Structure 1
Amino acid sequence: MVPDNLYHYSEEPDILRFVPRPVSSDPTGPALVWAIDETHAVNYWLPRECPRVIYRQSPKVSEEDLGRFFGSSSADTVIVVESTWLDTIRSTRLYEYRLDSHGFELRDETAGYYISRHPVEPLSVQPTGDLLSRVLSRPDVELRFVPELHTIRNAILSSSVDRFSIIRFRNAMPKQV
């Protein structure tokens, strides 16, 4: 079931119409408009190009991995970002576009992705405000800063954690040796 409202986050404040665009990872596939559901919106309360690893608890996560990745945290979602992005996060202005979900279909339930093959006009747009404050306002989310993302990405990929997103990893710092 598609929720009533979906969201799109952008550093552009004046998008009047979202037009389907080719997907860079699948240039021969259909052009799409992407949106996110409210539960996963926090994944996008960061600068567009900011690399991040996000993971969530689920019944499939082993006790060992619960301790390893969530420790004493009460959060069920952890967002991990490289420390070098802190100043950019502080200075980025982001805008939340609310979209009518009519015409969207679920693309990836784990990530909360929805797609439309047709142009979409936003219902509203508003600035998100201070991004750090917005992320930290979610009691179910913990934000962690690390020197590099390769270690956590590799650990998540080889764990029992089954609900995760790895966003803009191409922008991550090279692995430190």
Structure 2
Amino acid sequence: MSLLFHFSENPTIQSFLPRLHPSHPTIAPAVWAIDEEHAPMYYLPRDCPRIAYYPREESSSEDIEGYLKQTRAKKVIAIESSWYRVLRETVLYRYTFEPGPFTCWDQGGGYYIAYSTVVPLEVQPMGDLLEKLMESDVELRITPSLTPLRDYLVSTTLHYSMIRMRNAKP
């Protein structure tokens, strides 16, 4: 396993303490990290609601064909238009972790958790987030509401991650 990452608008975190996850309250307090392949899902302001989706090995040929009719990007990430300005103004930092204390929580989404305090190897500013998304072969979609996309994706075999949806427009 290669290095893991955490993204934050706070550049001064010295160590990461296990905490409860608001979307997964049944999981013991943990430190969350993401692998490099899935890291672009976090090249956005922390509280920005987003939906990332892409084909996976188990996706149906119909869903893959439909995806490929829309884009040649590796992943699509959609955000609500009200978050565009925040995206342009946010300074984001990437924390890097050794994988040792982490175990895979969701391989399809690239999520890893550790149940003990984790000290980062380094912290680096991300720079221009739109540029980082483009460099990662991500198509960014900006839409007034994520709701239609959410409703559509749950009926497909595409992999999707719906992040911070509690902050999305109703």
With normalisation by structure 2, the TM-score equals: 0.93
Q: 1:20, 1:48 → 2: CA distance?
A: 18
2:148 — aligned with what?
151
Q: 2:126, 2:91 → 1: CA distance?
A: 7
For 1:68-79, list aligned pairs within 5 A: 68-79=66-77
> In structure 1, which of residues 119, 125, 128 is the aligned counterpart of residue 126 of structure 2?
128
1:170 — aligned with what?
166
Deviations 1:55-108 (A, max 9, x none): 111233334333434424211211111111110000001000001111110001
Q: 1:63, 1:104 → 2: CA distance?
A: 34
The gaps in structure 1 that reach 5 residues or longer are none
Aligned to 1:152, the other structure's residue is in SS state helix
Q: 2:153, 2:25 → 1: CA distance?
A: 28
Where has structure 1 moved over 4 Å in runs of 4 or more? none
Greater CA deviation, 70-79 or 14-23? 70-79
Q: 1:159, 1:130 → 2: CA distance?
A: 32
CA 1:78–1:28: 2 relative to 1, 3 Å: closer
2:117 — aligned with what?
119
> In structure 2, which of residues 75, 80, 98 is the aligned counterpart of residue 100 of structure 1?
98
Aligned to 1:155, the other structure's residue is in SS state helix
The amino acid of 1:76's aligned partner reads: K
State the identity as a percent: 43
1:47 — aligned with what?
45
Q: 2:24, 2:132 → 1: CA distance?
A: 32
With normalisation by structure 1, the TM-score equals: 0.90
What is the CA distance between 1:26 and its match in structure 2?
4.3
1:61 — aligned with what?
59
